[in-house]
């Protein structure tokens, strides 16, 4: 298994290099001008100088490799230095990936935004999994019961209604009409005592629920289908014929088998947490990664967008690998060789 993981990681390197090139090339080809947002009074010569200072005078290939070096070597070194307090080599003059809009290193921007995203989006994913699995199990075990029908109806809603609609709906109901919950997420809020904790919960409630509904709808459907598949298997009858309790039959024998594909689906969904829920963050003004990406796109901040997109790509590749490894751990029939 370790060898398999290592091999997959090695294969991931050329894959990621190819992806990085495509991302870089696509964004580079896109018609955008980093100086377009500057005041019109700035003369063209100055604009040209700004462009040159951003490195745009260099040929495409040179820029690509420089970006690659900055992203793959300089930034990780920098993060390492910040975490450990060491000084590795010439850290003063090391070139970092700089945002065109803010002139600050892209990594710093991301690190600043990540906690909000992880809290809101990550929490919503955890909640989604925690409610989706039991719902899927019960729906399948009591197929066509009232519980199942209601579950099916709600997950159909969660599945088909986009988050910008449910988000706005919740804001209208709970912020505008009832005034119970804040409609804007206050990032500067610090949890100090019970009251501030309650406020934190309140402001997280709506964005978390909107995302949890969407995710739970999907996962509970997978769970239900997988349970139904397994409930009809012969081994379930064997388990019953042994005189096991129904609880053991369902929660040990059937659930264990049903979780195999569902865990994969859950693992594959994790990168979307880091990607941030772009729309939901936008609606609730959570200044997380998703919102950062939108700002980057609107401001033609190519380095920022390149870096973020590439980080998403890495996460997707990594979690694909993790999903495969978990699959192998859960299913003894899978052999890695």
In this structure, what token pair is assigned to residue 150? 């209601």
The CB-of-1 to other proteins minimum distance in angstroms stands at: 16
What does the radius of gyration of the chain's CA atoms come to, in whole angstroms? 24
Contact criterion met (CB below 8 Å) for 207 and 285: no
In this structure, what token pair is assigned to residue 263? 């865990």
Using CA atoms, how far apart are residues 183 and 204, in angstroms rounded to an integer?
Answer: 10
The CB-of-151 to other proteins minimum distance in angstroms stands at: 20
Rank residues 192 and 247 by Cβ distance to other proteins and give the closer one: 247
Rank residues 186 and 246 by Cβ distance to other proteins and give the closer one: 246
- Convert 100-134 to b/e letters by CB count within 10 Å (16 or more is b): bbeeebbbbbbeebbebbbbbbbbbbebbbebbbe
Contact criterion met (CB below 8 Å) for 309 and 276: no
Q: What is the DSSP secondary-structure string of 38-72?
A: S-TTS-HHHHHHHHHHTTTTS-HHHHHHHHHHIII
In this structure, what token pair is assigned to residue 186? 């206050």
Rank residues 189 and 256 by Cβ distance to other proteins and give the closer one: 256
Using CA atoms, how far apart are residues 185 and 171, in angstroms rounded to an integer?
Answer: 12
What count of other Cβ atoms lies within 10 Å of the Cβ of residue 177? 9
The CB-of-255 to other proteins minimum distance in angstroms stands at: 10
The CB-of-231 to other proteins minimum distance in angstroms stands at: 9
Rank residues 89 and 332 by Cβ distance to other proteins and give the closer one: 332
The CB-of-177 to other proteins minimum distance in angstroms stands at: 45
Contacts to other proteins by CB under 8 A: 232-235, 237-246, 248, 253, 256-257, 260, 330-333
The CB-of-256 to other proteins minimum distance in angstroms stands at: 5
Rank residues 240 and 285 by Cβ distance to other proteins and give the closer one: 240
Rank residues 196 and 238 by Cβ distance to other proteins and give the closer one: 238
């Amino acid at each position: 298994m370790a060898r398999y993981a290592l091999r997959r990681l090695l294969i991931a390197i050329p894959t990621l290099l190819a992806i990085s090139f495509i991302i870089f090339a696509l964004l580079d080809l896109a018609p955008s001008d980093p100086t377009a947002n500057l005041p019109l009074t700035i003369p063209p010569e100055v604009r040209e100088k700004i462009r040159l200072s951003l490195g745009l005078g260099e040929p495409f290939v040179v820029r690509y490799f420089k970006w690659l070096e900055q992203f793959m070597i300089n930034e990780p070194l920098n993060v390492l230095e910040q975490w450990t307090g060491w000084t590795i080599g010439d850290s003063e003059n090391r070139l970092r990936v700089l945002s065109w809009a803010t002139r600050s290193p892209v990594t710093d921007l991301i690190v600043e935004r990540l906690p909000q995203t992880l809290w809101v989006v990550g929490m919503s994913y955890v909640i989604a999994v925690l409610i989706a699995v039991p719902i899927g199990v019960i729906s399948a075990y009591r197929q066509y019961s009232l519980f199942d029908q209601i579950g099916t109806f709600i997950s159909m809603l969660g599945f088909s209604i986009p988050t910008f609609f449910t988000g706005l709906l919740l804001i209208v109901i709970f912020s505008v009409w009832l005034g119970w919950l804040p409609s804007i997420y206050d990032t500067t809020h610090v949890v100090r005592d019970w009251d501030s904790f309650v406020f934190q919960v309140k402001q997280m409630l709506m964005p978390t629920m909107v995302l949890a509904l969407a995710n739970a709808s999907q996962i509970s459907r997978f769970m239900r289908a997988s349970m139904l598949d397994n409930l009809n298997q012969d081994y379930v009858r064997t388990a019953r014929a042994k005189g096991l309790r129904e609880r053991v039959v369902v929660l040990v024998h059937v659930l264990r088998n049903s979780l195999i594909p569902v865990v994969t689906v859950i693992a594959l969904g994790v990168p979307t947490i880091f990607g941030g829920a772009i729309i939901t963050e936008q609606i609730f003004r959570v200044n997380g990664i998703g919102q950062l990406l939108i700002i980057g796109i609107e401001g033609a901040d190519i380095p920022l967008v390149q870096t973020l997109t590439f980080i998403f790509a890495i996460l997707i590749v990594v979690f694909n690998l993790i999903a495969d490894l978990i699959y192998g751990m859960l299913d003894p029939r899978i052999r890695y060789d």
